[in-house]
Amino acid sequence: MEQLRNKKGFICDMDGVIYHGNKILPGVTKFVNWLYSENKNFVFLTNSSQLTPKEYQQKLANMGIEVDESRFYTSGLATAAFIKSQNPNASAYVIGAGGLLNALYDAGITTNDRNPDYVVVGETDSYNYSKIVKAVTLVNNGAKLIGTNTDTTGPMEFGLVPACRSLISPIEIASGKKAYFVGKPNPLIMRTALRMLNVHSEEAAIVGDRMDSDIIAGIETGLDTCLVLTGVTSKEMLKNFPYGPRVIANNVGDIADGNEV
């Protein structure tokens, strides 16, 4: 744990690490206070594309956690940056929430439900059969299929709910086309997070609750890794993976205290 605590930069997941839905998790206030008191560089990196950085800032503020808007980066922003780098004049049919739509708009990507260059899927509360049919039709007509992240589920106060990979799967199956996913563990979003920290990978650690996105992203990017048990992964589930985190903590407060499982 001490090696991890000595890192200059921290990339922190949010769902299952900082909160479940609108419920703050144990140890978070202690952890954030520790980051500030130790002058750590840190960024909250979420695979969710539902909210904007400003909205995430306000969400944490409502939980009593004050963090500057500049410390948030989302898969929605990463998806918009990727599409802009591929085709600056692109248009897209979007199944997603406001955070994704705003990110695409800010990147100059227009919405289009007739002949878009891309079909983009992220988390949303307004998911229905007609949108699936429209997306499949557009993909079959040549639109490229993009997913904001590969998470199949996400934690809420009442349990797990479907996330991007679950929502995009019917479109993949019906069209026969595989989506490209931009969020963790894609190196694109990890490199952006490291640039925001302004540290090298060996000077940084990632803290997350998912083995298949957070921990594997850290391993493949050369970061130190800490799995917290407040999200979707239990200690018993680790035997299902051919890789493991270097540190396991019950919650992020254990990082501040120097405790590990």
208: its two tokens: 């997350």
Reported as a single tens digit per residue, the pLDDT across 192-249 is: 999 999 999 999 999 999 999 999 999 999 999 999 999 999 999 999 999 999 999 9
Instruction: State how far the Cα of 211 lies from the Cα of 229, in Å rounded to an integer.
Output: 11
Distance of CA 248 to the CA centre of its chain: 20
Between the alpha carbon of residue 166 and those of residues 59, 147, 156, 228, 251, the distances in Å are 25, 10, 16, 23, 27
Is the confidence at residue 94, as pLDDT, over 90?
yes
Give the mean model confidence (pLDDT) for residues 111-119: 97
CATH class of 2-47+187-257: alpha beta
Domain ranges of the chain: 2-47+187-257, 77-181
Name the DSSP letter for residue 84: H
For 118, list phi and psi in degrees, rounded to 5. Answer: -135, 150
Question: Does the annotation count 214 as an active-site position?
Answer: no
CATH number of the domain at 77-181, out of 3.40.50.1000, 3.40.50.300, 3.30.70.100, 3.30.450.20?
3.40.50.1000
pTM of the model: 0.95
Whether the domain at 2-47+187-257 and the domain at 77-181 fall into the same CATH topology: yes
Q: Which of 13, 117, 151, 224 is catalytic?
A: 13
User: What DSSP designation does 229 have?
Assistant: T
Look up 151 and say whether it is catalytic.
Answer: no
Cα 101 to Cα 148: distance, rounded to the nearest angstrom: 12
What is d(CA 118, CA 143) in angstroms, rounded to the nearest whole number? 5
